[in-house]
Protein backbone atom coordinates (compact mmCIF):
# COMPACT_ATOMS: atom_id res chain seq x y z
CA UNK A 1 0.00 0.00 0.00
CA UNK A 2 1.31 3.48 -0.84
CA UNK A 3 1.93 5.62 2.24
CA UNK A 4 -0.30 8.69 2.63
CA UNK A 5 1.11 12.06 1.69
CA UNK A 6 1.87 14.51 4.50
CA UNK A 7 2.79 18.18 4.09
CA UNK A 8 5.17 19.28 6.86
CA UNK A 9 7.84 21.94 7.39
CA UNK A 10 11.30 21.43 5.90
CA UNK A 11 14.25 21.23 8.30
CA UNK A 12 17.96 21.64 7.54
CA UNK A 13 18.29 17.82 7.85
CA UNK A 14 16.21 17.61 4.65
CA UNK A 15 18.78 19.59 2.65
CA UNK A 16 20.44 16.59 0.87
CA UNK A 17 17.09 15.27 -0.42
CA UNK A 18 15.97 18.77 -1.44
CA UNK A 19 19.16 19.08 -3.48
CA UNK A 20 18.53 15.71 -5.15
CA UNK A 21 15.08 16.86 -6.23
CA UNK A 22 16.39 20.29 -7.22
CA UNK A 23 19.09 18.76 -9.46
CA UNK A 24 16.73 16.29 -11.10
CA UNK A 25 14.16 19.02 -11.77
CA UNK A 26 16.09 22.05 -13.05
CA UNK A 27 18.68 22.78 -15.76
CA UNK A 28 19.93 25.67 -13.55
CA UNK A 29 19.51 24.29 -9.99
CA UNK A 30 20.19 26.29 -6.85
CA UNK A 31 23.56 25.52 -5.24
CA UNK A 32 23.52 23.67 -1.93
CA UNK A 33 24.97 26.70 -0.15
CA UNK A 34 22.27 28.98 -1.57
CA UNK A 35 19.56 26.51 -0.57
CA UNK A 36 20.97 26.15 2.96
CA UNK A 37 21.29 29.91 3.41
CA UNK A 38 17.75 30.48 2.12
CA UNK A 39 16.25 27.94 4.53
CA UNK A 40 17.77 29.89 7.45
CA UNK A 41 16.13 33.21 6.51
CA UNK A 42 13.41 33.99 9.08
CA UNK A 43 10.78 35.06 6.52
CA UNK A 44 11.31 31.93 4.42
CA UNK A 45 8.71 29.19 4.70
CA UNK A 46 9.55 25.77 3.22
CA UNK A 47 7.16 22.82 3.13
CA UNK A 48 7.87 19.23 2.12
CA UNK A 49 5.49 16.60 0.77
CA UNK A 50 6.48 13.36 2.50
CA UNK A 51 5.46 9.83 1.63
CA UNK A 52 6.55 7.82 4.63
CA UNK A 53 10.09 8.99 5.34
CA UNK A 54 10.77 10.09 1.78
CA UNK A 55 10.40 13.68 0.57
CA UNK A 56 8.71 13.64 -2.84
CA UNK A 57 8.34 17.39 -3.36
CA UNK A 58 8.88 20.76 -1.75
CA UNK A 59 8.03 24.44 -2.00
CA UNK A 60 10.04 27.42 -0.74
CA UNK A 61 8.60 30.93 -0.39
CA UNK A 62 9.40 34.31 1.09
CA UNK A 63 6.41 35.41 3.17
CA UNK A 64 6.34 39.10 4.05
CA UNK A 65 2.62 39.87 4.52
CA UNK A 66 0.76 41.07 2.64
CA UNK A 67 3.03 39.69 -0.11
CA UNK A 68 4.58 36.30 -0.68
CA UNK A 69 7.05 35.20 -3.36
CA UNK A 70 7.18 31.56 -4.44
CA UNK A 71 10.92 30.97 -4.88
CA UNK A 72 11.11 27.27 -5.70
CA UNK A 73 8.79 24.30 -6.14
CA UNK A 74 9.45 20.84 -7.47
CA UNK A 75 8.11 17.32 -7.32
CA UNK A 76 10.10 14.10 -7.88
CA UNK A 77 9.91 13.05 -11.54
CA UNK A 78 8.33 9.70 -10.63
CA UNK A 79 5.63 11.41 -8.51
CA UNK A 80 4.42 14.10 -10.89
CA UNK A 81 0.84 14.35 -12.14
CA UNK A 82 -0.73 13.19 -8.86
CA UNK A 83 -1.67 16.56 -7.40
CA UNK A 84 1.39 16.93 -5.14
CA UNK A 85 2.49 20.28 -6.59
CA UNK A 86 -1.07 21.59 -6.16
CA UNK A 87 -1.22 20.37 -2.54
CA UNK A 88 2.10 22.04 -1.72
CA UNK A 89 0.94 25.37 -3.15
CA UNK A 90 -2.45 25.16 -1.42
CA UNK A 91 -0.86 24.34 1.95
CA UNK A 92 1.56 27.23 1.62
CA UNK A 93 -0.97 29.85 0.54
CA UNK A 94 -3.70 28.73 2.96
CA UNK A 95 -1.54 28.73 6.08
CA UNK A 96 0.01 32.15 5.41
CA UNK A 97 -1.35 35.64 6.12
CA UNK A 98 -0.31 36.87 2.69
CA UNK A 99 -3.07 38.09 0.40
CA UNK A 100 -0.92 38.35 -2.72
CA UNK A 101 1.63 35.88 -4.11
CA UNK A 102 4.16 36.42 -6.89
CA UNK A 103 6.41 34.11 -8.87
CA UNK A 104 8.45 33.84 -12.05
CA UNK A 105 8.32 30.85 -14.35
CA UNK A 106 10.16 29.94 -17.56
CA UNK A 107 7.95 30.85 -20.51
CA UNK A 108 8.32 27.30 -21.94
CA UNK A 109 7.46 25.54 -18.64
CA UNK A 110 3.86 24.72 -19.50
CA UNK A 111 3.29 22.13 -16.72
CA UNK A 112 4.26 24.71 -14.09
CA UNK A 113 2.28 27.50 -15.78
CA UNK A 114 -0.82 25.29 -15.85
CA UNK A 115 -0.32 24.34 -12.20
CA UNK A 116 -0.14 28.02 -11.24
CA UNK A 117 -3.11 29.02 -13.41
CA UNK A 118 -5.18 26.26 -11.84
CA UNK A 119 -4.32 27.68 -8.42
CA UNK A 120 -5.59 31.09 -9.53
CA UNK A 121 -2.33 32.77 -10.61
CA UNK A 122 -2.52 35.14 -13.59
CA UNK A 123 0.28 36.16 -15.94
CA UNK A 124 0.92 39.87 -15.33
CA UNK A 125 4.30 40.52 -16.93
CA UNK A 126 7.36 39.28 -18.77
CA UNK A 127 11.04 39.59 -17.80
CA UNK A 128 13.14 39.32 -20.96
CA UNK A 129 16.13 36.95 -20.85
CA UNK A 130 15.62 36.39 -17.13
CA UNK A 131 16.95 32.82 -17.07
CA UNK A 132 20.20 31.20 -18.24
CA UNK A 133 20.92 27.57 -19.17
CA UNK A 134 19.07 28.01 -21.49
CA UNK A 135 18.55 31.76 -21.89
CA UNK A 136 14.80 32.36 -21.67
CA UNK A 137 12.14 34.89 -20.67
CA UNK A 138 10.29 34.66 -17.37
CA UNK A 139 6.54 35.05 -17.12
CA UNK A 140 5.63 36.94 -13.94
CA UNK A 141 2.49 35.59 -12.28
CA UNK A 142 0.38 36.91 -9.42
CA UNK A 143 -2.30 35.42 -7.19
CA UNK A 144 -4.63 37.84 -5.35
CA UNK A 145 -6.71 36.34 -2.60
CA UNK A 146 -8.31 39.50 -1.20
CA UNK A 147 -8.20 40.27 2.51
CA UNK A 148 -8.08 37.22 4.76
CA UNK A 149 -10.84 37.14 7.36
CA UNK A 150 -9.98 36.50 11.03
Ligand X SMILES: CC(C)(COP(=O)(O)OP(=O)(O)OC[C@H]1O[C@@H](n2cnc3c(N)ncnc32)[C@H](O)[C@@H]1OP(=O)(O)O)[C@@H](O)C(=O)NCCC(=O)NCCS
Q: Is 116 a catalytic residue?
A: yes
Q: Does 123 bind ligand X (CB under 6 A)?
A: no
Query: 98 or 138: whose CB is closer to ligand X?
Result: 138
80 part of the interface to ligand X, by CB under 6 A: yes
CB of 150 to ligand X, least distance (A): 30
Does the footprint of ligand X cover residue 109 (CB under 6 A)?
yes
How far lies 52's CA from each of 1, 55, 66, 127, in Å?
Answer: 11, 8, 34, 39
Question: How many residues make contact with ligand X (CB under 6 A)?
Answer: 19
25 vs 99, which CB is nearer to ligand X?
25
Nearest residue (CB) to ligand X, 118 versus 148 = 118
- Residue number of the CB closest to ligand X reads 85
125 binding ligand X? (CB under 6 A): no
Which DSSP string do the residues of the chain spell out, in sequence order? -PPPEEEEE--GGGHHHHHHHHHHH-SSPPPHHHHHHHHTSTTEEEEEEEETTEEEEEEEEEEETTEEEEEEEEE-GGGTTSSHHHHHHHHHHHHS--SEEEEEEETT-HHHHHHHHHTT-EEEEEEEEEETTTTEEEEEEEEE--PPP-
**Pattern 27-66, ligand X, x by CB under 6 A:** ----------------------------------------
Are 91 and 63 in contact by the 8 Å Cβ rule? The answer is: no
Binding span for ligand X by CB under 6 A among 7-15, 39-47, 77-85, 140-148: 77-85
Give the distance, in angstroms, between the CA of residue 48 and the centroid of all CA atoms in the same chain.
10
Using CB under 6 A, list all residues that contact ligand X: 25, 73-75, 80-86, 105, 109-112, 114-115, 118
Amino acid sequence: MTAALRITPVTLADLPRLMELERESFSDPWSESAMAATLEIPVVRALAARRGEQIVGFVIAYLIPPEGEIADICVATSERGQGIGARLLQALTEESDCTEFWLEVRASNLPARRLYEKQGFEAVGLRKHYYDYPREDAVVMRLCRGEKSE
